[in-house]
Each structure stands twice: as C-alpha cells, then as structure tokens.
Structure 1
C-alpha cells in the first residue's frame, strides 16, 4: 500500500500528518517512533538505500512492484509455457529475467508479455503524447495501455492488473499531487489491489485518494469516480450497507451530471443494484435493472462488458429471490444462456468471470427445475 502509517507503530497518518525522516522521508507519528526505528528497527542501515532509490514512497513502490511481478508471472506460468513476449519477442525478460503474463481476452499465442514490457510501452506512448501536446483524447487513449490490452482492448484483471497498478504508481508518484497522471496512477493502484484480492490495501489507497481529491478541490465528477471505486471495495469487504449508501449517492450524482445514457451513470446504476441484490432487496434491484438495462443495451450495445454484467446480475436477482415466479425463472435462464455464450465468445474460457457466468447459469437452471411460486 502507499505509505499512510507510521513505520513503527502503524498509527494512521493519512497523506499529511506526522513527521518524516529528513533524509529518506520515511514517515513517523512523532520523534519517539523515529528514534526507536533508527536505534532498534534497522533504519540506520536502510536510510541511505531508501534515499538513493528516491525516498520512502518510491522505495516502497519499487519493492511492491517487484513482488507483484513475481506473483503475476508465477500465476500465469502454466498458461505462458513455451510462449514469447509480443513486445520484446523473448521468453525471459532480458534485464529482469521475469516470466510472461497474460491477463486479457487475447486467444491462441497472442497477448503474452512481460509486465515490464507492458509498463515501458505505456510509459513511452504517454510521454510521447505529453511532449507533443497531442491533446486530451490521445492522452486518454494512451493511458489505457496501463490497464488494457493494446490488441484485444479488454482490461487486464487479477494479479496482472495489480502488477501494472504498482508499475504505474512507481512511474508517476514523484510528480506533484496536482498532476493528473499521479492522481490516475493512485486510482489504478487501488483498483489493481482490489482486483488481486488485496482489499485492505486497496481500501487504504482509495481512502487516501478520496481525501486528497477533496483536499485539492477536484471536480464533483472526479470525486464520484473515487467514491465509486471505494464503494466497490467496501462491498467486497462485506460492508454492504456502507457500500450501498455511497453507491446510491454516486448514482444520483452521475444521473444529475451526465444523464441516464452516460456509461458512467449506467455503471453506477449497476453497482448500486448489485448492493441491493447483496442485501436481498430484490424488488428494488429488479426495478432499477428494468429501468437501466434497456438503456445500456441501446446505447452501449449487447456485447459491451457493462451491459453483460448488468444482465448477469439482473438474472441472479430473478432466480435468487425466494418469491420468484416461473416466468422470472425462465427469464433468468434465458438471460444467462445469452450472457454466458457471449461472455465466453468475447473473453475466452480462461477469463475468471467466464466460469462465474457458467455457474450462475447452472444455479438458474437448478432453481427452474425446482419450480417457482
């Protein structure tokens, strides 16, 4: 996680409290902990090394990135056996000796790469756009390389996304707080940590990001983005009531700012409905989905990821409701048959959510076999 705690006693300091080592910027709650760390915690031996690496935050990011790359390569080892990187054409990275990963929807021999190569490619493309003032649209398109495949255009997931999150953060953390790339990198790190299941770390990053965004007086739109990501992490941690409250506010804010057809409004509606579903408030969830899914299908298309996820969750709401009618159960099965087929065709059998779609379809069929009320 980013450094928001005292290095000795773990007191929460946020992004601005406490004091720092004058040489390497390691953070402490006060002089007593700083003295203890120097005399008993080994900081006297690490201080120069941390400073040489660029300071405590940079040192931590570099270390966590290296660890995340190892985890990602090991997780992908079976899938990448005998393959080469589509960027450098080597099996082992020439410098780091890291293995390959694949965390997208590419098929066959496509999509294999080193995290280092993906990160370097994203860094170079974005630097070129900055230097040549290519405009906001090009910057946004190139920034996608930090979290989405350049070939299949699908977002990376799991441990690969986590490793790229650390890569992005270590690249831009040295910029001023007001720099957009630094802010975006913090957001990507939070989402990457959540995607890999490091939810406590993700929560720390996202709460710090929200505090920073508010302190800097960012736009309401920017604040809603961070709140939406934070709400998703609360939900994954099981704090559904808090997630629901935040998601309701995000949906309301998006609707007011951008209208019902905006993709961010639809995403917020989907997240809000998921929490309603998790709290078994099925009627409210069904009502919201019935209002927003037709809009998503019309504006985003049948094969859009968001559209598919909304339909998938809507079907789960239908068949998990104890009061489901036979018509509800038939609709749930038909919906999931369509979604599972499209998901497998678009994202491939290796994508983690492909199996989840198949499991949901199995659950709907079992519910139908038992009959509705």
Structure 2
C-alpha cells in the first residue's frame, strides 16, 4: 500500500495503525509502540492533530502505555484525546465518554480516586442521558463506580451503584453471567 499510495497517505497510515493489533496479540509491545508512533506522526502531518483518525491513534497509544505500565504517558494520551473530543464532539458524546471512562479506570489504577470518581460520575450521567439507564455500558459504568466506592469504604454508595446495575443486568438479554457476578458482589457488601 505504501508503494501505491505513499507513506503519508491516510489509508497507508491506517494500515500501519491496524498492524498494532497483530503485534499486540503476539506480545510485541515495543513493536506496537513503534507502529503507533509512526502512524501518529503521519496522521498529524496528513490530517492534523485533532482529526478523529489521529485521535484514534493517540487513544491506542494510551491503551498501549497502560498495558506497558507507563501510566503517566497513558494519562497524557487520554487527556489529549479527551480535550480534543470534548471540543469537537461535545461533553456528552459517546466517544468523549468512552475516553473519560478510560481515564477514570487509569486514575483508579494510579490511586487518584477523587479524579477517578469524577470521571466515572461524568460518564455515568452522560451515558444515562445518551444511552439510557439500562444500557449495558451505563450499567458497566455504575458497576465501576460501585467498585470504586467499595475500595474507598463507602458502602452505602457502593450499594447505591450495585443495586441498579444488578437490576439493569437482570433485564438485559444475554447477561445471565454478569447478573450472577453482581449478585455475589452484593452479598459481599
């Protein structure tokens, strides 16, 4: 593709970016980082820093850095994507919320629990508006927030998140296993 379209063509760069999945599956994370950086450099040059395809590559780098344990770099990537998506798509767009959720998970992992809680609350409110209270992504966010509350010892808040999640999962088709998992958690709380 590079010979036909050129190194800087968007389709060539997308192919380079997609190769990261293959390398990641093989555990070759250093190779994935090289491919992502190459794709990012080309995307920024060809499409601009704030183009959705460029932001997709930045988000992939954030995921990669999280997997590598480079959490500060992951945070930097997620914050960039969040800022650009919020500007371009809005505060409650599902893509913006997905990035905020990734950042919430990262903050939880970093022990920045106040920041994690803020992200999860934002995502939960946005997903309830955009997708409804019983959508599986909304329920998963409520579960994540419940887990965070449990970790912080806020048991009443934990129950307040887990109960609606459990009830929602009970109504969702194909989520019998998730329902059982949440039931066990509720018994532990």
Same fold by TM (over 0.5)? yes
Give yes or no for contact 2:2–2:12 (8 Å, CA) kept in 1: yes
Please show how residues 173-192 of structure 1 align to structure 2 within 5 Å. Answer: 174=3, 175-191=5-21
CA distance in 2, matches of 1:256, 1:314: 25
> How much has 1:210 moved relative to structure 2?
1.3
Tell me if the contact between 2:58 and 2:77 (Cα under 8 Å) persists in the aligned partners.
Answer: yes
Q: Which moved more, 1:337-346 or 1:290-299?
A: 337-346
User: Partner residue of 1:202?
Assistant: 32
Q: CA deviation at 1:301?
A: 3.9
1:279 to partner: Cα distance = 1.1
CA distance in 2, matches of 1:192, 1:360: 33
- Determine the C-alpha separation between the residues in 2 that align with 1:185 and 1:200: 18
Task: Give the Å deviation of 1:281.
Answer: 1.5
Q: What displacement does 1:308 show?
A: 4.4
Q: Which residue of 1 aligns with 2:127?
A: 296
Indicate if the aligned counterparts of 2:120 and 2:145 stay in contact, CA closer than 8 A.
Answer: yes
**1:116 corresponds to which residue?**
none
Alpha carbons of structure 1 residues 258 and 304: separation in structure 2 relative to 1, 3 Å: same
Q: 1:303 to 1:228 in 2, by over 3 A?
A: farther
Aligned partner of 1:256 in structure 2 is 87
Q: How does 1:73-152 map to 2 (within 5 A)?
A: none
Q: Can you give the 5+ residue segments of structure 1 that lack an aligned partner in the other structure?
A: 1-171, 369-373
**Structure 2 vs 1, CA of residues 306 and 326 (structure 1 numbering), >3 Å: closer, same or farther?**
closer
Question: Aligned-pair RMSD on alpha carbons?
Answer: 3.2
Deviations 1:84-124 (A, max 9, x none): xxxxxxxxxxxxxxxxxxxxxxxxxxxxxxxxxxxxxxxxx
Match of 2:78 among 225, 247, 251: 247
1:314 corresponds to? 145
* Distance change (3 Å), C-alpha of 1:182 and 1:364: farther
For 2:174 and 2:24, how far apart are their aligned partners in 1? 26
- 2:112 aligned partner: 281
Alpha-carbon distance between aligned partners in 2 of 1:201 and 1:287, rounded to the nearest angstrom: 34
Instruction: Give how far 1:277 is off.
Output: 0.8
Shifted more, 284-293 versus 189-198: the winner is: 189-198
Query: Do the aligned residues in 2 keep the contact of 1:206 with 1:226 (CA within 8 Å)?
Result: yes
Secondary structure in 1 aligned to 2:144? helix
- Contact 1:311–1:339 (Cα < 8 Å) also in 2: no
Q: Secondary structure of the equivalent of 2:81? A: helix
Counterpart position of 1:237: 68
Alpha-carbon offset, residue 228 of structure 1: 1.1
TM-score using structure 1 length? 0.43
Count of equivalent residues:
187
Match of 2:160 in 1: 331
- CA offsets, 1:12-41, max 9 Å, x none? xxxxxxxxxxxxxxxxxxxxxxxxxxxxxx
- In the superposition, the TM-score normalised over structure 2's length comes to 0.78
> Counterparts of 1:310 and 1:243 in 2: how far apart (Å)?
20
Query: What does 1:155-166 align with in structure 2 at a 5 Å threshold?
Result: none
CA displacement at 1:176 relative to structure 2 = 2.4
Cα distance in structure 2, aligned partners of 1:236 and 1:325: 29
Higher helix share: 2
Counterpart contact for 2:47–2:54, Cα < 8 Å: no
Task: Tell me the distance in 1 between the aligned counterparts of 2:141 and 2:27.
Answer: 22
Secondary structure (helix, strand or coil) at the match of 2:111 reads coil
Deviations 1:337-372 (A, max 9, x none): 2465577716x86xxxx6xx8667645643x1xxxx
Return the offset for 1:294. Answer: 1.7
